[in-house]
Amino acid sequence: MPLTLQEQIQQFYDASSGLWEQVWGEHMHHGYYGATGTERKERRQAQIDLIEELLAWGKVQQAQDILDVGCGIGGSSLYLAEKFNASATGITLSSVQAQRATERAAAAGLKDRTRFLVADALAMPFADDSFDLVWSLESGEHMPDKQQFLQECYRVLKPGGIFLMATWCNRPTDPPNPPLSSAELKHLEEIYRVYCLPYVISLPGYGAIAHKLGFRDIRTADWSTAVAPFWDVVIDSALNLGVIKALLRSGWITIQAALSLGLMQRGYRNGLIRFGLLCAGKG
């Protein structure tokens, strides 16, 4: 039988997370290269800078109970737990990621303040009003129901808390913007296929959903220019004999994703792919 989307996502990250950590480190997300995208910096530093810039933009100055939705191997969860001396919970569909994140927490001396669970972001196993910071860094694109995703984030967010999300989007299509062309739709379908995505939406689309669900103080921003160089850096670093050997050992799912890095690179260059931010609160 064909795999469900959840099973595809699980297998993708089960297969690729080890290689990513081995070659590129614990942060499985874009880097930040300055507002104009022209700052030169080491890739891992750029990824840490993205976290710090997001926190500054979201006006997050403290947190006690943090939820990392789509936590990967715990990169953001551990960083935030240490930065704020907070408790952090991460959820992922990949048992491989959850286990590795748990191991990394123990190695970092953060085992008592962190936990990593295999859980569905559309039906989170948490009580209402549980977290004062709900953090989602590049996981929204995997959600097959964007409204249900934001609804769950709203539900588990404490009153007065902050929801901070960064996600892959397509360009705006509301008037006066033209609808997506057939070539753009084909480009997106290739990205969906390779990276196990159901679909992406525009940043204004996310803002409309947040407004409908009752989020307060909604702000959005497009940081595409600031993060686009990340794909150039990853592609350049992949042209390395050690990386190629590791790729060949990792299996076809990971090889296919690596061979398709140019899809994202070209998507940013032609304006189709956007890196969208949304920050909102709960009354």
Comparing CA positions, the residue from 93, 107, 158, 108 lying closest to residue 132 is 158
Supply the pLDDT for residue 246: 66
Comparing CA positions, the residue from 113, 167, 168, 157 lying closest to residue 134 is 157
Judged on CB neighbours under 10 Å (0-12, 13-18, 19+), 252 is exposed
Q: How many domains does the chain have?
A: 1
The low-confidence residues of the chain, meaning pLDDT below 50, are: none
Domain containing residue 36: 5-281
Provide the 8-state DSSP code for 113. Answer: G
Half-sphere exposure of 173 (CA within 13 A, CB side): 14
Q: Is 164 helix (H, G, I), strand (E, B) or coil?
A: strand
Supply the pLDDT for residue 21: 85
Task: Outline where DSSP puts E strands in 191-249.
Answer: 216-222
Supply the pLDDT for residue 258: 64
Supply the pLDDT for residue 166: 98
Separation between Cα atoms, residue 80 and residue 254, nearest integer Å: 28
Supply the pLDDT for residue 12: 87
- Over the stretch 245-271, which tens digit does the pLDDT of each residue have? 666 566 656 666 666 788 999 999 999
DSSP string for 126-143: S-TT-EEEEEEES-GGG-
Comparing CA positions, the residue from 247, 190, 201 lying closest to residue 22 is 247
The CATH number linked to 64 is 3.40.50.150
Instruction: List residues bridging with 135 in a β-sheet.
Output: 68, 164
